[in-house]
Amino acid sequence: MEQTETASDVEKLLSGLGRFPEAWARPFLIVVSGLPGTGKSYFCHCLAQRLAAVILESDHLRRTLFLAPGYSSAESARLFRASHLLIERLLRQGLPVIFDATNLSQHYREKLYRIAERFGVKLVLVRVEAPPELVYQRLKERQTDPGTNSEADWSVYQRMKPQLEQIRRRHYAVDTSQDITPVIDKVIREVSR
């Protein structure tokens, strides 16, 4: 049953993605991590304006799978199981992927590392951060923005903050309260090598 459900979930996620960029001879996987409100989606959007890739935003994917997300651990497990299979499918088709999710724990990032290794694609890790007072303001403003996919508020940020585990592999750190262009330039250079 779980395998059938996951296959169905992947198809549902795939149908909600829209148009794809052209395939690359050597696709890549960019994993973007950070707490809610730090600017992950903003960073991914800016990066995608200069780098043709499929953005998989976990908040959007969750809303595609679940009409009324409950954010339970079972729901999250189902979402990420389907997301990981979707990443594999896109990479297999030569499509580069930017995965935008909190990716806070080493355990969950390890699954993404294994996908990149299995497909022999370049893996680029980016940790997004911002000062807490700016995050607080962003999350407050987000609550009145009908265009946002995320339902995270300040209490979610505070609850998730202790779960943030250091990235043990080489990665880029970007503070979205500063100019993000230098990090975008570095990421583009790395995937173009």
What is the b/e burial string over 14-37, where b = at least 16 CB atoms within 10 angstroms of the residue's CB? Answer: eeebeeeeeeeeebbbbbbbbbbb
55, two tokens: 């953005």
Q: What is the pLDDT of residue 94?
A: 96
pLDDT tens per residue, range 53-111: 999 999 999 999 998 888 888 998 999 999 999 999 999 999 999 999 999 999 889 99
What is the span of the domain harbouring residue 11? 2-19+26-192
Q: What is the pLDDT of residue 2?
A: 64
Instruction: Residue 141: give its domain's CATH number.
Output: 3.40.50.300
Residues 14-24, mean pLDDT to the nearest whole number = 89
Higher pLDDT, 179 or 74: 179
Match 């696709």 to its residue by tokens: 27
Q: What is the pTM of this model?
A: 0.92
User: What H or E segment, with its residue span, contains residue 62?
Assistant: helix 58-65
Burial of 153 (0-12, 13-18, 19+ CB in 10 A): middle
Q: What is the pLDDT of residue 149?
A: 66
Q: What is the pLDDT of residue 80?
A: 93
Specify whether the CB–CB gap between 38 and 174 falls below 8 A.
no
Q: How many domains does the chain have?
A: 1
Q: CA 80, CA 76: separation in Å to the nearest integer?
A: 6
Higher pLDDT, 74 or 172: 172
Task: Tell me how crowded residue 163 is: count the other CB atoms within 10 A of its CB.
Answer: 10
Q: CA 53, CA 56: separation in Å to the nearest integer?
A: 9
pLDDT tens per residue, range 111-161: 999 999 999 999 999 999 999 999 999 998 877 766 666 778 888 889 999
